[in-house]
Each structure stands twice: as structure tokens, then as C-alpha cells.
Chain A
Amino acid sequence: MLTRRSMLLASAAAATLPAGLPTGLLAPGAAAQTPPNVLVFAKQIDDIISLDPQEAFEYTASEIAGNVYQKLVTTPNSDPSKIEGELAEKWEASGDNKTFTFTLKDGPKFASGKPVTAEDVAFSLTRAVAMNKPPAFIINQFGFTKDNAAERIRATGPKTLVLTTAEPTSLSFLLYCLSAAVGSVVEKATVMSHAQKDDKGGDDWGNGWLKQNSAGSGSFAVRQWKASESVVLEANPHSDAAPKVRRIIMRHMADPSAQLLGLQKGDVDIARNLVADQIKQVQSDPKFSVQSARKASLMYLSLNQKNPNLAKPEVRQAIKLALDYEGIQKNIVPTTYAVHQAFLPAGLPGAVTDLPFKQNIAEAKALLAKAGLPNGFEVSFDYASAAPSSDIAQAVQANLAAIGIRLSMLPGEMRAVITKTRARQHDIAMLRWGSDYFDPNSNAEAYSINLDNSDNAKNRTIAWRASWEIPELSARAIAAREETDSEKRTQMYEDLQRDHQKVSPFVIMLQEIEVAVSRAGVTGFDMGPMNDRHSYTNITKA
């Protein structure tokens, strides 16, 4: 589809482009459609570092893990708070909530054709604990260590797995954590046959091999990964979740315009990184279908409590009331973000989705006056210089100027902004935070636990980074985590979020929306709130 502007550009360029002409002669009848049975994604995949599910923590790798491996339990995207068995048939907690027994299903088989056993599950969880890679803390937080894993993670029969946690644990908390990509079950025999000796006399748990290969029971198996180029997945013929297409090819296309062209041309079935105006362009076109899912990723302002002005409770609330959330969302990120104001993103259990803050300049000014700052003040503002952060930052600057708070703008590379907030050197910073795993505790801990506010604290949560000392809220967040009654637990999180909104130095503004655009006739791509919940199993091509 050529718009008028692009036509003009193209014809203007045609005159200056004789060097490009010979290309046509080389490609008689360039491909128009992707082959049937092969699904082609266009996606930015240069975030992949490793495909080992016990190591990977990046978006694309988590997504692949979700399609190549199975976990004990998972949550359906249609009802994300519900826990379903994936490899596990049933599970039960002991009376003291410290011993958990899982019974495995009979059906699941690895790509090698061998059935999934409790031994494989125990091996996989132990592997996560022992390798201690970035996502390991999700499992480790239940008290597992390299030394006690053998007695606390046990296969007591071919289909029976027993986990023993250090403290009494909420069953839902444990299950949600086990549903993360790090809980993926790998085939012990295959992985260990590729284990390499490391320099300390041990082995690498097959990590070197599993970075580029797979040994799972999910719908697909990894056939090839070329960094920054492509990932090829092949259907796992033995999987009990048999896919509809035989092959998935994920091509790295860094440029969204190239993704759109490929989609229009039929060389791409699903484009994953289109930007807002491109999405707008295809939204009304019957040749494409646009689908979206709320992502567990928030954009928020962190107000450093080391700044005496920002430490005043009235100032924090005044800032929350000064922003034009709706205007920002509509004008800058209409398709890729939604307004959200609680620390649990929509889609996660317990998320509060009502929006208590609306722009109210008069009230915000009154609050500032009450804080003794009727004429406002000046603070620095760090934000990522890339779009859309830069545009949102300017809107924030304009909104706050209206109540007299003058922001001196400090755009920077994303990691530089993070580095600065980790050192607690910012005043106001605009950041993004994605949940680590599918449990309310992931964000509750980040935003509302800070038990040691000293400069050399061990646990440096987002609350710590804002120097926000909150013994009472921390205790409540911990109590919610430990609550074993799951309904009561959800209620505790809802209360926590509402109280958090009233006092916190975090202005939670937006929640990311992930958008995928498919060619008409391509259906069944199931998107979830976390990357490891995106499923390719039911994708079909007409």
C-alpha cells in the first residue's frame, strides 16, 4: 500500500537510482508468499543472549522458551489468574505449607520421544539453582541453594516430585513462580550428554550447548539460532501440544518500516515491532489484522526522596495530579501504551485498574502551596532519549511547568539513566519496569519493600533507588507474599496498591501494550501479559 507521500518520494528517487536497477534482473519473480506450513515473524531479536531457559531473561528468549519448553504449571491467557497444570496433573501442599508434592501427567514427551519424568523436572529446577544465572532468584527465593537442592528438590518416583521450601509458603506464590520461563523442564539425558568440563573441575550443566539448542517438550524445538539474523524452530513431533505449522522462522528486522514492507509484500506473516503510526495505517486495512495484549511493563516517574522538596508528601501527590495522563496516552502512544496507575500491571493477579488520578492543576497547586512551595521549584529530570520516552518527557515537563515545577531535562541512553537511579543520584527519572515473573510479589517487592535504606543495602529495590524508607509498607508486602489463603492474598495486594497510590514517590503513568500485526488468514497467535506466555501452538495459515 503506497501512500501519496511515499509515492512522491519513490518517483523522485527513481530518477536518481539507476544503480539500483540491475537488482531487478537478478530476481525473476521475487517471492510473494511465505510457504504454507511455515510461519514467518519479523521481529527485533538482537536481545537474545542465550536460549538456555535457566539462563535467559530477555524478551525474545523468554518467548522462545515458552514455546520450546513446558513448565509444571502455567496460566491461560484467557484467564491469567487461573493456574493450570502443564506437565503436572495435580499438586498439593502439606499442612505446614512447606512441602509440595506434584504428580506429573502421562502425555508430555520431549523432542527425543522420551516421556517427561520427575527426574527431569528435579534436574531442571536444580540446574536453575546451581547455575545461579540472572533468573535463578525466582526459584532461589524459596530457600533453595546449591548445597540443599539435592534434599529439597526430589523426584520420589517416576511421576512424583517433592519440593521443600525453607519457610511456610503461599501455594499460589510458588506456582506462579514455577510458571516462569526459568521453571522450564529440560531433558536431563540430552542436556548432560552435552555437558562440558569447566575450569573449576565441575561441568557447565550443558549450558554451553543449551544456549544454542533445545531439549524440551514444548510445541517446537530450536533448529538454528543466528545472532541478530534469525531463529528457526521446528515442530516437535512428540509434543502433546502439537503445533499447527511445521516451522517458525523469526527474522531479525531492526527497522520497523522494513517489517511493514515485508508484511505488505507477503514475505512476513506477523510483524512484531511496528510503531504507532504504522499500526494506525494498517488498522483499517482488511488485508491485516491487528492484535494487542497488555504487557507487564510500566512506565513511571521515580521521585528521589533524597531531594528535600520531593520528599514532601504533598509534592508527591501534586505531581501525580499535574499530569495529563489521558492526553499523553492519546497523543503520543495511542496504540502502544494504556493509562495505568497502580504498581501491578493489568493482567497480573490482584491488579488494581481504576484510575484515581486525573489532571487537576488547581488542586495540585494548592498541594504545593500547602507544602510551602507556592512558587514551585526546580529539579533535574532524567529520561531515555529514544522515542517515545523523549516525547512523553516533554509532555511531563509542560504539565509540571503548569504548577510551577521546572524540570531541567537530562536525556540519556536508557542504561545511563538506570545506572544513575541505581546510584540514587537522580531527582526525577522516567523509567520502565517489567515484572520478572507472573506473581504480584514481583512488582510488590520492587515498589514497596525497602527494609534497609542505607547506601550499602543488599536488596536494592526500586523503592530503595528512590530512597523511600517504608518499614510499615514493607511488612505488609511481605505479609501478602506469605499469605497462604489465595483470595485473602489478592485482597491484601489490592489494598496495598491503593495505599501506595496515596503516598508513594512513584508516579505510575502508563502500561505497555504489545501489538502484533498479522496478514489476513493468519490466526491463532496467542499473546499474554508476559513474554513467555506468547504461544505459537495454535497459529494457522489460511
Chain B
Amino acid sequence: MSDSTTSPADQPPGGQPAGGRRRPSAFRLRFQAVSATLASIPITLFGLVLVTFFIGRVVPIDPVLAIVGDRAPQDVVERTRLELGLDQPLYVQFWRYLEHIVSGDLGRSVMTSNPVTQDIARFFPATFELATVAMVIAVVIGVPLGVLAATRQGKWVDQAVRLFCLAGHSLPVFVLGLVSLLLFYARLGWAPGPGRQSIYFEGMVDERTGILTLDAALAGDWGAFQDALAHLAQPAAVLAMFSLAYIARMTRAFMLGELRSEYVTTARAKGLSRRRIIWGHAFRNTAVPLVTVLAMSYAGLLEGAVLTETIFSWPGLGQYLTVSLLNADMNAVLGATLVVGLIYVVLNLLSDLLYRLLDPRVK
């Protein structure tokens, strides 16, 4: 294994293997890097659980109070305290919690009295649906906008995009959401109101995946599908604004960097068309850093957007997490945090893998 200690990052930019040593196979390099990333997952998650757990325990709210309520007789309170193992030292409680997690048991939520895994399975699809559509909107609009701004640097288009990004980035989402509701729902009547579907369709679509648009499509109920899509559009657009602004800004910055490079000058000197230079050469080279930006934006959206979900009555993970937190429902908070952490780690891993595919130097 001595030859495989060279990791991709150690290689000189030219991709030349260090003098005389046999160049390790691409497969082995990739395998090694991936396994290193994989190994970091449990450590990251362990850290996350550790921090969340102890924060949850120092919060000045009695977890027993959250479970049995303010009115329970004292013997019930004491019994519950024993049942929860709260009389044990913290490290013992933590160990027990870890044991449960490893066996796939995230405990029971106090707020909904369901197993936390079941709750997450219910709330996550709604968030997934919203975040994915928002992400699509953000990418489809944000990336071309960034490229456009970069290629017309300093012109009015660039200024307009900058203004738009500034607004998207700095307008609080609750303002944007409410104003959008006021305008498109209340005033113009173009978009339906809050919620995931109209009351006409309430309870009409069988839940299979929990992703309402998909469920309606699977059931072949196109009326319900259109209704769900219409309800999805507005919150997704509002949610997309922030990521869109960020993605456009980053794309512009990456593109500017590339457009200043010598190879672009060379391409220009060779007489390549403007279009080929921009899309075929410069944009291609921004793909690598852009992937990381996109992955992190998506992860950010997937953890649930509390404010957007609240304004649009969207029963997603963000709302679940917040309400659980306010109710000191620690099992739910820990479980949901763990899932969010897992999403981040997995998306990070995926963007790493994609990085390797896109960047010819890594091969």
C-alpha cells in the first residue's frame, strides 16, 4: 500500500506523478478517498449527537414536564423520571441513547406521541418536495443569470442582476412570503393560498410517498396533481429566492475568474465564437466549484425552512423541528437534527464524488 499514500490533493497541479514512482491506479485513488470520506461520516454524526444531546440537557426545561404536562400528579412525574432514566448520570443517559440510535430507534416524540422515525418519514417528504422544486427554480434561473452578469460585467444587465440578488439575499423570507401571498393570492388571485392542496382535494389522494405531487400523479388524479403543483409553486418560488441570489452571485464570481484566464484569451485569439468560449470553455470550468455551492444550497433547503413553512402552512421538517424545540421534545429534536446532519454529510459526499467526475485533474 506504500504507493497509494499519495492522495489526489498532494499531486502537483500538472498531474505528474512524483519522480520514478509508479502512478497509482485511478480506481484505487478514488476508492481510498471515498472510503476516507465514508469513515468521517460516523465521526461527524457522533459529534452532532453529542453536542445536540448535551445542549438538550442543559436547557432549563424539565423533560418530564414536556411529557406528562403541568397537571400530572407527583407520583406520575417521579415514575416518568425513572422510566426515562433521568435519574442516571448524563454519560449513562447518553450511552443509552446511542445504543437506541444504533438499533434504529430514535425514541418517541412527546408532541405527536409517534415514534420519531415515523414523524420524520411524514414531515420530510413535504420538505423534500418543496426544497427540490425550489432548488430546480434556483438553478435554472440562478446559473444563467450569473453567467449573463459575468459576461456583461459593469453593464446595466450586471447591475440589474446585482440589485436582484441583493434583494433576494437581504429581504427576509417572511416579508417576501407574506407580500407574495398578499399579491398573488389575495390581490391578483393567480396563486392558491397556504397549504399543500385545496380543500376540495383534502383526503382524496392516497399517501404513498408523502410527496403530494408524485402521489397524485401515481394515482393518475391530474386534477389533484395540478392543484398540488399550484400550491407548491408559490412557496417554492419564495424559498428559491435566497438560494437563487446566492447561486447567481457565485456563478458570476466563478465565471469572472475563468473569463480572465489566459486560455480564454487564447481561445479568443484563435477566433472561437463567443458562445463557445463562454459555455464550452469558461462555464465548463466553473462546474467544479459550482457543484459544491449547489450541494450546500440544496442541503440548506432540505433541513426545512421554518419561516416559509410557517407562512405557507407547509407541514415540513423545519416546522416539526421548531415546534419540538419549543416544547422541549428532545427525542424529536435529536432525531430531526440527526437526519439533517445525515443529509449534509451525504450531499457533501455526493458533491465530492461529482467533483472527481468533473475535474479531469483528479482522474
What is A's interface to B at a CB cutoff of 8 Å? 2, 6, 9-10, 12-14, 16-17, 19-20, 22-27, 29-32, 34-35, 38, 40, 46, 49-50, 57, 134, 137, 211, 223-224, 226-230, 232, 249, 251-255, 257-258, 261-262, 264-265, 267, 412-413, 415-416, 418-420, 422, 436, 457-460
* In contact, B112 and A23 (Cβ under 8 angstroms): no
Closest to A253 in B: B313
Q: Which residues of A contact B111 (CB under 8 A)?
A: 46, 49
Q: Which residues of A contact B230 (CB under 8 A)?
A: 23, 26-27, 30
* Least CB distance, A28 to chain B, in whole angstroms: 9
In chain B, residues 139-180, which have Cβ atoms closer than 8 Å to a Cβ of chain A?
A: 141, 164, 167-168, 171, 175-176, 178-180
Nearest-Cβ distance from residue A75 to partner chain B, whole angstroms? 21
Contacts known (A30-B192, A31-B198); A258 close to B312, Cβ less than 8 A: yes
A22 contacts which chain B residues (CB < 8 A)? Answer: 233, 237
Which residues of the partner chain A approach B122 to less than 8 Å between Cβ atoms?
227
Give the chain B neighbours of A57 by CB distance below 8 A. Answer: 69, 71
Check B187–A2 contact: CB distance below 8 A: yes
What are the residues of chain A within 8 A of B178 when measuring CB–CB?
257-258
What is the minimal beta-carbon distance from A399 to any residue of chain B, in angstroms? 27
The answer to the question of B59 belonging to the interface, with a C-beta cut-off of 8 Å to chain A, is yes
Whether B310 lies near A229 (C-beta < 8 A) is: no
Nearest B-chain residue to A25, judged by Cβ: B190
Pick from A40, A228, A255, A257: contact of B315, CB below 8 A: A228
Q: Is the CB of A27 within 8 A of B190?
A: yes
Closest 6 CB pairs of A and B: A24-B190, A23-B233, A27-B230, A13-B179, A23-B191, A16-B167
- Which residues in B have their C-beta under 8 angstroms from that of A20? 180, 183-184, 191, 234, 237-238
* CB nearest neighbor in B for A207: B113
When C-beta atoms are compared, the residue in chain B nearest to A436 turns out to be B71
B positions within 8 Å CB-CB of A = 59-62, 65-66, 68-75, 110-114, 119, 122-123, 137, 141, 164, 167-168, 171, 175-176, 178-196, 198-200, 202-203, 226, 229-230, 233-234, 237-238, 240-241, 244, 310-313, 315, 319-320, 323, 326-328
* A34-B183 contact in complex given A20-B237, A228-B319, A415-B327, C-beta closer than 8 Å: no
> Among B73, B164, B315, B326, which residue has its beta carbon within 8 angstroms of that of A227?
B315
Closest B-chain residue to A48, C-beta based?
A: B112
Whole-angstrom distance between the Cβ of A66 and the nearest chain B Cβ: 19
With A252-B315, A460-B74 as contacts: A19 and B240 at CB distance below 8 Å: yes
The reply to whether A16 and B168 form a contact with Cβ atoms under 8 Å apart is yes
Besides the known contacts A26-B230, A49-B110, 5 further A-B residue pairs in the complex with CB atoms under 8 A apart: A26-B229, A255-B313, A412-B60, A418-B70, A419-B61
Tell me whether A23 and B190 are in contact in the complex, defined as CB-CB below 8 angstroms, given that A31-B200, A232-B203, A415-B66 are known contacts: yes
List of A residues within 8 angstroms of B323 by Cβ: 46, 228
Do A422 and B319 form a contact, CB below 8 Å, given A50-B113, A262-B193? no
CB distance from A3 to the nearest CB of B (A): 10
Smallest CB–CB gap between A466 and chain B, Å? 15
The number of residue pairs between A and B whose CB atoms lie closer than 8 Å in the complex comes to 197
Q: B200: nearest residue on chain A (CB-CB)? A: A35
* Chain A to chain B contacts (Cβ below 8 Å), 22 pairs: A9-B179, A10-B183, A10-B187, A13-B175, A19-B137, A19-B244, A20-B183, A25-B190, A30-B191, A35-B199, A224-B203, A227-B112, A227-B122, A229-B313, A230-B195, A232-B203, A254-B310, A261-B182, A265-B186, A265-B189, A267-B192, A418-B65
Bound-state Cα–Cα, A232 to B195, Å: 14
Which residues of chain A are near B237, meaning CB under 8 Å?
Answer: 19-20, 22-23
Query: Distance (Å) between the CB of B359 and the closest chain A CB?
Result: 31
Closest chain-A Cβ to B126's Cβ sits at a distance in Å of 8
Instruction: Choose one: B186, B191, B241; the contact of A19 (CB below 8 Å).
Output: B241
Interface centre among A27, A32, A229, A436 (most CB of B within 10 A): A27
**A249/B113 contact (C-beta < 8 A), A20-B180, A262-B194, A415-B66 known:** no
Instruction: Determine whether the beta carbon of B191 is less than 8 Å from that of A27.
Output: yes
CB distance from B3 to the nearest CB of A (A): 52
Q: Which residues of B contact A264 (CB under 8 A)?
A: 186
Q: Is B61 within 8 A of A415, CB to CB?
A: yes
Q: Residues of B contacting A32 with CB < 8 Å? A: 189
Supposing A10-B187, A23-B190, A31-B198 touch, asked if A49 and B112 sit within 8 A by C-beta, the answer is yes
Question: B141 touching A19 by the CB < 8 A rule?
Answer: yes
A422 and B68 contacting across the interface, CB-CB below 8 Å: no
Question: A27 and B315: CB pair below 8 A?
Answer: no
- On whether the beta carbons of B186 and A420 are closer than 8 Å, the reply is no
Inside 8 A of A16's CB, which chain B residues have their CB?
164, 167-168, 171
CB of B164, distance to nearest CB on chain A (Å): 7
- The answer to whether B313 touches A252 (Cβ under 8 A) is yes
**Residue A258 contacts which of B61, B68, B181, B203 (CB distance < 8 angstroms)?**
B181
* B69 / chain A contacts, CB cutoff of 8 Å: 57, 134
> In whole Å, how far is A467's beta carbon from the nearest beta carbon of chain B?
16
- Inter-chain contact B238/A265, CB cutoff 8 Å: no
With CB as the reference atom, state the residue of chain A lying closest to B182: A10
| Assembly CA distance A475 to B323 (angstroms) | 41
A309 to chain B, nearest CB (A): 24
B180 adjacent to A13 (CB under 8 Å): yes
Q: Give chain B nearest CB distance to A281 CB in angstroms.
A: 14
A261 touches B233 (CB 8 A): no
Chain B residues positioned under 8 Å from A27 (CB to CB): 190-192, 230, 233
Bound complex: CA A418 to CA B171 (Å)? 36
Chain A hits for B233, CB < 8 A: 22-23, 26-27
Q: Which residue of B lies closest to A212 (CB)?
A: B114
> Across the interface, which residues of A come within 8 angstroms of B192, CB to CB?
27, 30-31, 267
Collect the chain B residues with CB atoms within 8 Å of residue A49's CB.
Answer: 110-113
Q: Please measure, in the bound complex, the distance between the C-alpha atom of A25 and the C-alpha atom of B313, giving whole angstroms.
A: 21
Contact status of A261 and B167, CB under 8 A, knowing A13-B180, A24-B191, A57-B69: no
Residues of A close to B326: CB separation below 8 A: 413, 415
